[in-house]
């Protein structure tokens, strides 16, 4: 018997060893301005909850939010963390409307600017600057071609507390790595206003309006390694978010291109089709879970966590018909989480090859007879 074990808890999904961000704002039509990892602050806009959305970066499965138009010139959030920032990283996806210009990001504390990412209006290079809690310069670097016109770029900017070193990445490639020669071990204030798309007050330094699309703003409070930077997009995915994080935006107004926050539509389908397998979102979003649970007449298990041990690979129970249910699931993790959520589930089989690819079979017992079948992994719950 194999000794591989899987542990699932309803407190969240652990994404490898990459440090988890403190905050994630998707800035898209799946969540908009809602912070999705905690009960932390939400983004604020000056008008109503209506936005223009557009095609996102390839790695992100939802539309991106536009800034710079009269209705939404900028987005802002008020942070109120109890401890100062030491190591600090900022990640976001950016697509400028033409050559980038103006202030992409500004962070102010006690009315004094602490961080800014600003683009030169003529040459398009970016200046990234930091000031400490005493308003003393703590680092400044220049990055060429950080966000090319009309193209998506993943930007990651990090300042290390111990060394003062500033690193800047564009599409996961390091473009700046400088020890700025300022004093090391400088903290940055963790209470203030973070603004995306302009300065506070607007245009206080002239024309600082940034125009374009933004998506998935993240704040990290641990240093990331180069390989970590390539992995942070996983936190942009809806399956990594808290159960209540998704927001529904209504259909697009064909004249203005605007979509407004709205109540979700009532479900019209009776059962997911084979081409639409269950995803982790169906299981962690409570509204979607209730819809799925009722379709299949399942009861909630009320389990918070469970260990699943791999009984064997290339093995399935006899008979092969699941005595709780048999559905399609996008991956093994989703199948395991489904068994955790369904009352009475004691074991499950997941098929990853052949004509039954992505089949998830749930059992209310631990079968005693098995047969060999390629591509099937059978797990039992440990009590």
Asked if the structure places residue 302 within a domain, the reply is: yes
- Reported as a single tens digit per residue, the pLDDT across 335-355 is 999 999 999 999 999 998 777
Domain shared by 41 and 111, yes or no: yes
Is the pLDDT reported for residue 268 higher than 70? no
Alpha-helical regions (H) of the chain = 226-229, 280-284, 286-296, 332-341
Asked if the structure places residue 8 within a domain, the reply is: no
Confidence of residue 302 (pLDDT cuts 50, 70, 90): confident
Asked if the structure places residue 4 within a domain, the reply is: no
Give the pLDDT mean for 349-366: 85
Is the pLDDT reported for residue 2 higher than 70? no
- Reported as a single tens digit per residue, the pLDDT across 49-58 is 899 999 999 9
Nearest residue to 103 (alpha-carbon basis) of 134, 129, 80, 64? 129
By CB atoms closer than 10 A (0-12, 13-18, 19+), residue 50 is: middle
Domain shared by 175 and 134, yes or no: yes
Asked if the structure places residue 7 within a domain, the reply is: no
Give pLDDT, residue 271.
Answer: 47
Domain shared by 251 and 311, yes or no: no
Asked if the structure places residue 142 within a domain, the reply is: yes
Give pLDDT, residue 92.
Answer: 97
Highest mean pLDDT of the ranges 208-222, 232-246, 324-338:
208-222
Domain shared by 189 and 285, yes or no: no
Spell out the residues 6+ positions from residue 275 whose beta carbon is closer than 8 angstroms to its own: none
Record the tokens describing residue 179, joined without a space: 């020890």
Domain shared by 187 and 313, yes or no: no
Highest mean pLDDT of the ranges 2-16, 154-168, 366-380:
154-168
Confidence of residue 383 (pLDDT cuts 50, 70, 90): low
Give pLDDT, residue 356.
Answer: 76
Q: How far apart are CA 29 and CA 217, in angstroms?
A: 14
Domain shared by 356 and 374, yes or no: yes
Boundary (domain end) residue, out of 192, 225, 260: 260
Asked if the structure places residue 2 within a domain, the reply is: no
Share of the chain above pLDDT 70, in %: 90
Give pLDDT, residue 5.
Answer: 55
What are the distances in angstroms from CA 231 to CA 115, 226, 303?
24, 9, 30
Asked if the structure places residue 31 within a domain, the reply is: yes
Domain shared by 59 and 111, yes or no: yes
Q: How far apart are CA 151 and CA 213, in angstroms?
A: 10
Q: What is the largest CA-CA distance in the chain?
A: 76
Give pLDDT, residue 151.
Answer: 96
The tally of domains found in the chain comes to 2
Q: How far apart are CA 47 and CA 261, in angstroms?
A: 12
Q: What mean pLDDT, rounded, does the chain reach?
A: 86
Q: Is 147 left (phi over 0), alpha (psi -120 to 50) or beta?
A: beta
Domain shared by 179 and 275, yes or no: no
Give the pLDDT mean for 160-176: 92
Domain shared by 299 and 353, yes or no: yes
Is the pLDDT reported for residue 14 higher than 50? no
Give pLDDT, residue 3.
Answer: 47
Give pLDDT, residue 276.
Answer: 67
Give pLDDT, residue 246.
Answer: 79
Strand partners, 358: none
Boundary (domain end) residue, out of 260, 291, 315: 260
Q: What are phi and psi of 4, to 5 degrees?
A: -65, 135
**Domain limits at 328?**
269-382
Give pLDDT, residue 264.
Answer: 65
Complete DSSP assignment for 214-225: EEEEEEESS---
Give the pLDDT mean for 315-331: 83
Give the pLDDT mean for 139-145: 89
Is the pLDDT reported for residue 303 higher than 60? yes
- Reported as a single tens digit per residue, the pLDDT across 87-125 is 999 999 999 999 999 999 999 998 889 999 999 877 778
- Reported as a single tens digit per residue, the pLDDT across 24-62 is 999 999 999 989 988 788 888 766 789 999 999 999 999
Domain shared by 202 and 277, yes or no: no
Domain shared by 142 and 243, yes or no: yes
Give pLDDT, residue 321.
Answer: 72
Q: How far apart are CA 119 and CA 106, in angstroms?
A: 12
Give pLDDT, residue 292.
Answer: 86
pTM above 0.85, yes or no: no
Please tell me which residue, 262 or 174, carries the higher pLDDT value.
174
Domain shared by 131 and 178, yes or no: yes
């Amino acid at each position: 018997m194999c000794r591989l074990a899987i542990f699932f808890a309803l407190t969240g999904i652990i994404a490898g060893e990459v440090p988890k961000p403190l905050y994630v704002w998707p800035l898209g039509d799946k969540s908009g301005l809602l912070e999705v990892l905690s009960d932390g602050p939400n983004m604020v806009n000056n008008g109503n909850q209506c936005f223009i959305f557009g095609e996102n970066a390839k790695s992100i499965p939802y539309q991106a939010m536009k800034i710079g138009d009269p209705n939404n010139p900028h987005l802002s959030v008020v942070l109120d963390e109890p401890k100062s920032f030491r190591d600090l990283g900022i990640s976001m996806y950016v697509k400028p409307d033409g050559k980038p210009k103006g202030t992409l990001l500004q962070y102010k504390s006690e009315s004094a600017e602490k961080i800014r990412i600003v683009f030169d209006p003529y040459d398009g290079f970016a200046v990234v600057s930091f000031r400490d809690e005493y308003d003393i310069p703590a680092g400044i670097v220049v990055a060429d071609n950080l966000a090319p016109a009309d193209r998506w770029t993943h930007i990651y900017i990090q300042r290390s507390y111990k060394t003062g070193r500033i690193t800047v990445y564009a599409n996961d490639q390091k473009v700046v790595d400088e020890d700025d020669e300022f004093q090391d071990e400088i903290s940055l204030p963790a209470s203030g206003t973070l603004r995306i798309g302009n300065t506070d007050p607007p245009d206080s330094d002239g024309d600082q309006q940034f125009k374009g699309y933004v998506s998935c703003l993240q704040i990290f409070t641990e240093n990331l390694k180069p390989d970590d930077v390539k992995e942070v997009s996983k936190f942009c995915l809806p399956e990594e978010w808290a159960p209540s994080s998704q927001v529904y935006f209504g259909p697009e107004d064909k004249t203005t291109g605007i979509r407004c926050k709205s109540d979700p539509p009532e479900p019209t389908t009776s059962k997911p089709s084979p081409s639409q397998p269950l995803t982790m979102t169906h299981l962690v979003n409570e509204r979607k879970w209730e819809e799925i649970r009722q379709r299949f007449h399942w009861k909630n298990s009320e389990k918070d966590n469970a260990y699943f041990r791999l009984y064997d690979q290339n093995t399935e129970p006899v008979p092969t018909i699941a005595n709780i249910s048999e559905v399609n699931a996008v991956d093994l993790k989703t199948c395991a989480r489904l068994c955790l959520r369904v009352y009475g589930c004691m074991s499950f089989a997941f098929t990853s090859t052949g004509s039954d690819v992505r089949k998830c079979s749930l059992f209310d017992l631990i079968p005693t007879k098995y047969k060999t079948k390629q591509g099937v992994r059978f797990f039992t719950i440990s009590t």
